[in-house]
Amino acid sequence: MRKPIIAGNWKMNKTPEEAAQLVKDLIPLVKDAKCDVVVCTPAVDFAAVKPVIEGTNIKLGAQNVHFKESGAYTGELSADMLKAAGCEYVIIGHSERRQYFGETDKTVNLRTIAAVKAGLKAIVCVGEMKDEREAGYTDMIVMYQTQMALHGLTAEELENVIVAYEPVWAIGTGLTATDEQANETIGVIRKAIAYKFGEEAAAKIRIQYGGSMKGSNVKGLMAQPEIDGGLIGGASLKAADFAQVVNF
């Protein structure tokens, strides 16, 4: 039985003061959650959030990680730096990183390996564009992205990997895949993992849906057998809204 995981991706939102207040408001609302709860904050908020969530069921995550341990990579953070700041999770390959900042399947793979080898839990994002879905390429794209992202890992190391299916056309648009569409594509992702790592590994790995999941649609999505949680964007920026998803 896979334990659900709900992770909030705050993106480029919240000053340290605002971040601390958000998690203070969130703690009593999700203290009895039956799923793992993660908040992936801007790096500037780590120091404000970490002491507030200490001893609670909320874990801290980052939104990106570099694949080198150190060096001349201005603006980047290594896996060891994230761990030292209190992070346990990190998002890798989000569609916005791919779209705006030149992220590729190769760099997603390098970042994933670096994160897992350092002991972080990697939330690895895959997903198709609107025109790709309309052209019938969804299955091909998510299978390739998944296998490429996880290349070089062992089946045992997949225990520290969560895959997030993010149809790019549903990110920040208000559009959402139907429950059945999301479940079907996540099933394809699971098959891609089974092909590369075996049926047991595929059955164990948790796969989230990340396309505008919110309080109004979480129950239908989470009722699907292949969906193990959500990577939540806009709905994670208000404690009550995020709690509604966490307590589905």
Q: What is the pLDDT of residues 2-34, one digit of tens each?
A: 999 999 999 999 999 999 999 999 999 999 999
pLDDT confidence of residue 172? 66
Choose, from 157, 159, 166, 226, the residue flagged as catalytic. Answer: 166
Class in CATH terms, 5-246? alpha beta
Give the separation between CA 124 and CA 207, rounded to whole angstroms: 9
> Is the confidence at residue 143, as pLDDT, over 80?
yes
Tokens encoding 8:
């909030």
Tokens encoding 174:
């208000």
The arithmetic mean of pLDDT across residues 78-85, rounded, is 98
Rounded to two decimals, the pTM is: 0.96
Confidence of residue 177 (pLDDT cuts 50, 70, 90): confident
Give the separation between CA 152 and CA 246, rounded to whole angstroms: 32
Radius of gyration from C-alpha coordinates of the chain: 17
> Is the confidence at residue 149, as pLDDT, over 70?
yes
CA atoms within 13 A on the CB side of 236: 26
> Is the confidence at residue 245, as pLDDT, over 90?
yes
Contact 52, 41 (CB under 8 A): no
Q: How far is CA 203 from the centre of its chain?
A: 18
Choose, from 66, 94, 103, 128, the residue flagged as catalytic. Answer: 94
pLDDT confidence of residue 179? 92
The arithmetic mean of pLDDT across residues 72-79, rounded, is 97
* Paired residues of 6 in beta bridges: 37, 230
User: Is 166 a catalytic site residue?
Assistant: yes
pLDDT confidence of residue 169? 78
Confidence of residue 53 (pLDDT cuts 50, 70, 90): very high
User: Is 94 a catalytic site residue?
Assistant: yes
Give the separation between CA 196 and CA 107, rounded to whole angstroms: 19
CA atoms within 13 A on the CB side of 209: 31
Distance from first CA to last CA of the chain, Å, rounded? 17
pLDDT confidence of residue 167? 87
Give the separation between CA 107 and CA 243, rounded to whole angstroms: 33
